[in-house]
């Protein structure tokens, strides 16, 4: 039996993490076997990469330690390849529902839209890292970057949060382009709504796709 692979995408502070946990709780209450993971992360190697890419102190310290855009992309793909091989494929082969906070669309949006790296190159890198493993459905949490970053500023922030408003606007625009290009896979969610309303909308969208 093959499982179902659901990815959660969107900008900073869009509420993805909260809704992943809510969906996982609801699915488990129905007796479904659920695995929750994240990118970059999910394996010891990938979590180490996450620390390299996202952790940072002051703005000056963060900028000084930041990798070049291409190095950043290669590090993300290395983490992704490890996650796919060690976690995602085995879980799906075991029939689990996998909920992943970010996947290869984030590379196209952040390193492509945000950093300006070549889209065709990034897609080739994604294919190499994933071996063609694609989500059954992707939930895109759409939110004005100013609102999302305002939420983030009230808590813990990372290096990506400290990118310019123009960077985050480009990321959002690329996510919109990706969703428009694959409407059968993407479900666009208005992430400005309350957590309870979001949970209900996500369940309505996702439940039919997880049957069978």
Q: pLDDT digits over 147-199, tens only?
A: 988 876 555 667 888 888 999 999 999 999 999 999 999 999 999 999 999 99
Task: Report pLDDT for 159.
Answer: 84
In the predicted model, is pLDDT for residue 57 greater than 80? no
Average pLDDT over residues 8-15: 92
Contact 143, 195 (CB under 8 A): no
Average pLDDT over residues 94-112: 98
pTM value is 0.92
Name the residue ranges covered by the structural domains of the chain.
4-210
The SS3 call for residue 21 is helix
Say which residues have a Cβ less than 8 Å from residue 5's Cβ, sequence separation at least 6: 88, 92, 98, 100, 133, 134, 135, 136
User: What confidence tens digit (pLDDT) does each residue in 105-141 have?
Assistant: 999 999 999 999 999 999 999 999 999 999 999 999 9
> Does domain 4-210 correspond to CATH entry 3.30.360.10?
no
């Amino acid at each position: 039996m093959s499982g179902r692979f659901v990815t959660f995408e969107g900008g900073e502070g869009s509420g993805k993490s909260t809704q992943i946990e809510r969906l996982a709780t609801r699915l488990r209450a129905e007796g479904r076997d659920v695995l929750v993971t994240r990118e970059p992360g999910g394996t010891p190697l990938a979590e180490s990469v996450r620390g390299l890419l996202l952790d940072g102190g002051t703005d000056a310290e963060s900028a000084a330690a930041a990798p070049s855009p291409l190095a950043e992309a290669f590090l993300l793909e290395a983490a992704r390849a490890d996650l796919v091989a060690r976690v995602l494929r085995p879980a799906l082969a075991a029939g689990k529902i996998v909920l992943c906070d970010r996947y290869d669309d984030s590379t196209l949006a952040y390193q492509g839209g945000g950093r300006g790296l070549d889209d065709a190159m990034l897609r080739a890198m994604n294919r190499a890292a994933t071996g063609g493993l694609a989500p059954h459905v992707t939930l895109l949490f759409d939110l004005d970057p100013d609102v999302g970053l305002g939420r983030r500023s009230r808590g813990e922030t990372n290096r990506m949060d400290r990118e310019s408003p123009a960077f985050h606007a480009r990321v959002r625009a690329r996510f919109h382009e990706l969703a428009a290009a694959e409407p059968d896979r993407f479900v666009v969610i208005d992430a400005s709504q309350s957590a309870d309303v979001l949970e209900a909308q996500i369940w309505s969208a996702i439940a039919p796709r997880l049957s069978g």
